[in-house]
Amino acid sequence: MLPARIQLPSGRTIEPLRLRMVDIDLSDIAFGMGSSLVVNQAIRLDVSLAQLAISRRQLFVSMTQRRGLEPRIDAELFLMLKDAWQYLITEAQIELRTVYDPTVLRQISMLRHHVRLKLFQRFGIEERRFGKQQLFVDIADRLATEEVMVRRGGMSPDRIVDPDLLVYRDITGGMTIFDEVWMPAEGRHEFHKNLEELVARKNGQRAA
């Protein structure tokens, strides 16, 4: 069972299934994302959710800029935060995702839906509303996920490479990702820095 209340690194005590926007703190998100590992079919990889999120953002920015476009801030935020609902699940509780207990699975589904909704409201994201850049959002997401499975998950490229993605690899500028794995502290720092920069840019955009 998921706990009714969780104390976060910032000192806040929150109810995960009743998360409010005022409960959301950048440092807590960065801590959770840097500490949590990508899970593929119940197997933990050695890449943090923070590194995966930032790699998605980097691929998206590379593709849009190489096409002469200005990357949309809300799209960058979406790619950074699409998995961030997991920041409320501690390392011990991540194991619950592999348990086929209907009650636990239902709670996790509710947590994902509720926390993503609050995160997107908090950072002003409207999912699937990125106009002409929607394709690049989707491709960046799929490319990063594919790369982490090949480079860090021991999967054969011949087995999982999506033929539809091959044409887009050239427009990422030949980026190499996941060759080096970040330690938790580095993941937290980089995620916090990236998210803080995007929030500042978004606020500046609103002020203008």
Output the pLDDT for position 94.
Answer: 47
Output the pLDDT for position 113.
Answer: 93
Tokens 């197997």 found at: 43
Determine the structural domain holding residue 76 and report its residue range: 21-207
Counts for the chain of helices (H) and strands (E), in that order: 9, 4
Q: Residue 33 and residue 48: Cα distance in Å, rounded?
A: 7
Output the pLDDT for position 186.
Answer: 95
Residue 87 lies in a domain: yes
Residue 5 lies in a domain: no
Per-residue pLDDT of the chain (208 residues; tens, 9 = 90+): 777 888 899 999 999 889 999 999 999 999 999 998 887 666 677 889 999 999 999 999 988 998 899 999 999 999 999 999 999 875 435 454 555 677 777 888 898 999 999 999 999 998 778 999 998 999 899 888 888 877 666 655 555 456 666 656 665 555 556 678 889 999 999 999 999 999 999 988 766 5
Query: Which tokens go with 27?
Result: 């440092």
Q: Residue 55 and residue 68: Cα distance in Å, rounded?
A: 20
Q: Please tell me the pTM assigned to this model.
A: 0.86
Q: Which residues contact 111 (CB under 8 A, 6 or more apart)?
A: 2, 16, 17, 85, 88, 89
Residue 178 lies in a domain: yes
Residue 199 lies in a domain: yes
CATH number of the domain encompassing residue 190: 1.10.3210.10
Q: Residue 87 and residue 5: Cα distance in Å, rounded?
A: 14
Tokens 């953002």 found at: 57
Output the pLDDT for position 42.
Answer: 61
Output the pLDDT for position 92.
Answer: 38
Q: Which of 201, 200, 166 is nearest to 70 (CA)?
A: 201
Residue 2 lies in a domain: no
Output the pLDDT for position 163.
Answer: 60
* DSSP β-bridge partners for residue 13: 7
Residue 6 lies in a domain: no
The number of distinct structural domains making up the chain is 1
Output the pLDDT for position 5.
Answer: 85
Q: Residue 109 and residue 86: Cα distance in Å, rounded?
A: 11
Q: Residue 188 and residue 25: Cα distance in Å, rounded?
A: 13
